């Protein structure tokens, strides 16, 4: 069916009485190579419509989006709408080899989905190879018409996309690492809204500048689109109030530092109460010294005024520290009458997944082994057609549904390193009946190194009901779970050397990827998928695939 016919059909559906305010928004995304002066580089990068970051999608809760992606580069491409629940529309999730085959060079694909039951800041990004380094942009979902924010209306809203950039081709960086079996190079710089750190060799651009009027409240929609880094976001001399994370409202939380893991979004209220001056905005990773900076500039302040700078005081590693833990533990769901918490209290599937790094024999690699990552000791093998197609069309031999509910061996996960760091591999999924409830405890393991992993689940948001250091204790720890106002997210960090418990209801049929959002760990196989079966009711099954679903 041609796109215009589909629009007519959708618009007619919108005329039905039940959906009086239904709006269809269309976007055209051309994936093209382009160089950007913001990076002071003449090397073209992969972009959407020549923009870095890509264009912001602005819509309202309940709107229908029709986004046509035209692949005009020499890579296979998919675009994922990170955090959008895709209720029954997994075909539009954009996850290569999980929900669709990639869009091949010269081909197009129309993503058709509705923004149901969500409002806030999300983002989109490529979900294949390392293309999301530069192929990403913001999604702003405003509340339904006439519905206010549950906090005072800000004077203005600003999107701030944080990312990281390699001077060399990112695909070459990861391919080289896979050939040698070693860790890929770190990025050359972080970016704020596409601006690299200003340098003397790049005088034409002065970095990202946020112009503000004094005495106002601004809402910053901050997105960590970096491939591999956790980022601390700070503005010299100013505090923030966090009001929303991952498109879910929180109780207002005051802080001067926010820690945003790769894949997370945070909405902040910023009050411009200093009246005048220039203040450094910084996005700084744990380890990498390449901090991205920008400037908060009070209107009327002369350009040659010295900027008040920040000196980094934050931890230098992604370990668990009081600062890191306080920032992560402090967030609570708003849990109001309008936005109630619906954490499952009765659990049907209680899962315990260990996560971590490991090794696998690799005769062609420099040291005979290559770095891998795992969930329950299984390194995920990507299939060659999508899991959702295999599930929907009942194609055998693509995956097995025997992903284990528990790790194969028990050991002191956060104690001494086990003698054998090798993992198994396979394309295994965990099957969930429609509407079943899940508790999943994610346990970091010492194999190779203790490290914090921001785990991301597609198709759902979940409640983070508890976390702690050391090994999870199934008797004692659940007693301390927060079942009243736990934060609701789609991406959350498992503490380094610790555990984290989440709960969700499997009310979205389809195939849903779960993985660490540190891209190098995804590449190494720290991923798995849930298959949620159809229910029996009228709106409880996966919709049929669109006619233009890309072919492998």
Question: With CB cut-offs between 5 and 8 Å by kind, which of ligand C2O, Cu ion, none does residue 127 bind?
Answer: ligand C2O
Question: With CB cut-offs between 5 and 8 Å by kind, which of Cu ion, ligand C2O, none does residue 240 bind?
Answer: none
Please report whether residue 518 would count as binding Cu ion according to CB under 5 A. yes
Contacts of 312 (CB under 8 A, 6+ apart): 282, 284, 291
Q: Contact region for ligand C2O (CB under 6 A) — 179-187, 390-398, 512-520, 541-549?
A: 512-520
CA 506 – CA 460 distance, rounded (Å): 8
> Which one, 75 or 279, has the nearer CB to ligand C2O?
75
Question: With CB cut-offs between 5 and 8 Å by kind, which of ligand C2O, Cu ion, none does residue 453 bind?
Answer: Cu ion
Q: What is the DSSP string of 171-232?
A: HHHHHHHHHHTSPPPPPSEEEETTEEPP-TT-TT---EEEEE-TT-EEEEEEEE--SS--EE
| CB 508, min distance to ligand C2O, A | 15
> Which one, 80 or 278, has the nearer CB to ligand C2O?
80
> What is the token pair recorded at 392?
């929907």
CA 178 – CA 176 distance, rounded (Å): 5
Question: With CB cut-offs between 5 and 8 Å by kind, which of ligand C2O, Cu ion, none does residue 263 bind?
Answer: ligand C2O
The residue count for binding ligand C2O (CB under 6 A) is: 11
> Which one, 123 or 230, has the nearer CB to Cu ion?
230
Residues 434-453 binding Cu ion (CB under 5 A) are 453
Please report whether residue 136 would count as binding ligand C2O according to CB under 6 A. no
Residues 438-477 binding ligand C2O (CB under 6 A) are 456, 458
Residues 450-489 binding Cu ion (CB under 5 A) are 453
| CB 339, min distance to ligand C2O, A | 24
> What is the token pair recorded at 338?
């309008």
Q: 24-34 and 64-71 as β-strands: parallel, antiparallel, unpaired?
A: parallel
What is the 3-class SS of 18-58, one letter each residue?
A: HHCCCCEEEEEEEEEEECCHHHCCCCCEEEECCECCCCCEE
Please report whether residue 370 would count as binding ligand C2O according to CB under 6 A. no
Residues 184-223 binding ligand C2O (CB under 6 A) are none
Q: Contact region for ligand C2O (CB under 6 A) — 153-161, 466-474, 510-518, 530-538?
A: 510-518
What residues pair up with 208 in beta bridges, in sequence order? Answer: 294
376: nearest Cα among 424, 446, 421: 424
| CB 122, min distance to Cu ion, A | 21
DSSP code, position 552: -
- Range 53-67 burial, b when 16+ CB lie within 10 A, else e: bbbbbebbbbbbbbb
Q: How many residues does the chain have?
A: 552
Residue given tokens 């004692």 in the structure block: 476
| CB 492, min distance to ligand C2O, A | 13
Please report whether residue 521 would count as binding Cu ion according to CB under 5 A. yes
For residues 432 and 347, the answer to whether their CB atoms sit within 8 Å is: no
Q: Contact region for Cu ion (CB under 5 A) — 190-198, 464-472, 475-483, 521-529?
A: 521-529
Please report whether residue 521 would count as binding ligand C2O according to CB under 6 A. no
Please report whether residue 137 would count as binding ligand C2O according to CB under 6 A. no
Q: Shortest Cβ contact with ligand C2O: which residue?
A: 82
CA 425 – CA 437 distance, rounded (Å): 27
> What is the token pair recorded at 117?
């039951």
Question: With CB cut-offs between 5 and 8 Å by kind, which of ligand C2O, Cu ion, none does residue 521 bind?
Answer: Cu ion
> Which one, 119 or 127, has the nearer CB to ligand C2O?
127
Residues 242-301 binding ligand C2O (CB under 6 A) are 263
Q: 369-375 and 79-82 as β-strands: parallel, antiparallel, unpaired?
A: unpaired
Question: With CB cut-offs between 5 and 8 Å by kind, which of Cu ion, ligand C2O, none does residue 125 bind?
Answer: ligand C2O
Residues 69-98 binding ligand C2O (CB under 6 A) are 80, 82, 95
- DSSP run (H or E) holding 329: helix 322-329
> Which one, 220 or 514, has the nearer CB to ligand C2O?
514
CA torsion sign, 201 to 207 to 213 to 215?
Answer: negative
Please report whether residue 79 would count as binding Cu ion according to CB under 5 A. no
Residues that bind Cu ion (CB under 5 A): 453, 516, 518, 521
> Which residues would be at the binding site for ligand C2O (CB under 6 A)?
80, 82, 95, 125, 127, 263, 456, 458, 513, 515, 517
């Amino acid at each position: 069916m041609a796109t215009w016919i589909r629009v007519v059909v959708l618009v007619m559906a919108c005329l039905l009485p039940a959906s009086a305010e239904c709006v269809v928004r269309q976007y055209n995304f051309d994936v093209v190579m382009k160089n950007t002066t913001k990076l002071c580089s003449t090397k073209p990068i992969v972009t959407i419509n020549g923009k870095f970051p890509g264009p912001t999608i602005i819509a309202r809760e309940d709107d229908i989006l029709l986004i046509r992606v035209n692949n005009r580069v020499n890579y296979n491409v998919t675009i994922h709408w990170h955090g959008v629940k895709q209720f029954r529309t997994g075909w539009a999730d954009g996850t290569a080899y999980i929900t669709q085959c990639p869009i091949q060079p010269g081909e197009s694909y129309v993503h058709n989905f509705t923004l149901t039951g969500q409002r806030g800041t999300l983002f989109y990004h490529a979900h294949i190879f390392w293309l999301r380094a530069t192929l990403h942009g913001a999604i702003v979902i405003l509340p339904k018409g006439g519905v206010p924010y549950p906090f005072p209306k800000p004077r203005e809203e600003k999107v701030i996309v944080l990312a990281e950039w390699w001077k060399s081709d990112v695909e070459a960086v990861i391919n080289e690492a896979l050939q040698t079996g070693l860790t890929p190079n770190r990025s050359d710089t972080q970016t704020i809204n596409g601006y690299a750190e200003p340098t003397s060799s790049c005088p034409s651009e002065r970095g990202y500048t946020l112009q503000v009027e004094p005495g106002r409240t601004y809402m910053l929609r901050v997105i960590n689109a970096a491939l591999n880094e956790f980022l601390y976001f700070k503005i010299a001399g100013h505090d923030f109030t966090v009001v929303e994370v991952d498109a879910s409202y929180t109780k207002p939380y005051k802080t001067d530092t926010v820690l945003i893991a790769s894949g997370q979004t945070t909405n902040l209220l910023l009050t411009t109460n200093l009246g005048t001056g220039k203040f450094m905005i910084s996005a700084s990773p744990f380890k990498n010294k390449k901090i991205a900076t920008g400037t908060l500039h009070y209107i009327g302040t002369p350009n040659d005024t010295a900027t008040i700078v920040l000196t980094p005081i934050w931890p230098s590693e992604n370990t668990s520290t009081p600062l890191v833990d306080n920032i992560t533990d402090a967030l609570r769901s708003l849990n109001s009458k309008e936005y109630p918490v619906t954490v499952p209290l009765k659990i049907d599937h209680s899962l315990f997944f260990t996560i971590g790094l490991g090794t696998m024999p690799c005769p062609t690699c420099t040291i005979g082994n290559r770095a891998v990552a795992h969930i329950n000791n299984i390194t995920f093998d990507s299939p060659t057609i999508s899991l959702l197609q295999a599930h929907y069309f009942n194609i055998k031999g693509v995956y097995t549904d025997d992903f284990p509910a528990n790790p194969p061996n028990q050991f002191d996960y956060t104690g001494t390193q086990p003698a054998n760091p090798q993992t198994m591999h396979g394309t295994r999924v965990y099957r969930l009946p429609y509407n079943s409830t899940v508790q999943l405890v994610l346990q970091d393991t010492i194999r190779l190194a203790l490290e914090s992993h921001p785990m991301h689940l597609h198709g759902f948001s979940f409640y983070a009901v508890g976390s702690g250091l050391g090994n999870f204790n199934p008797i004692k720890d659940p007693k301390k779970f927060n079942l009243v106002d736990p934060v609701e997210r789609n991406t959350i960090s498992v503490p380094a050397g610790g555990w984290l418990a989440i709960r969700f209801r499997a009310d979205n049929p389809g195939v849903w990827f779960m993985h660490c959002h540190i891209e190098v760990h995804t590449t190494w196989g720290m991923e798995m998928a849930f298959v949620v079966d159809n229910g029996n009711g009228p709106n409880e099954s996966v919709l049929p695939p669109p006619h233009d679903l890309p072919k492998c």
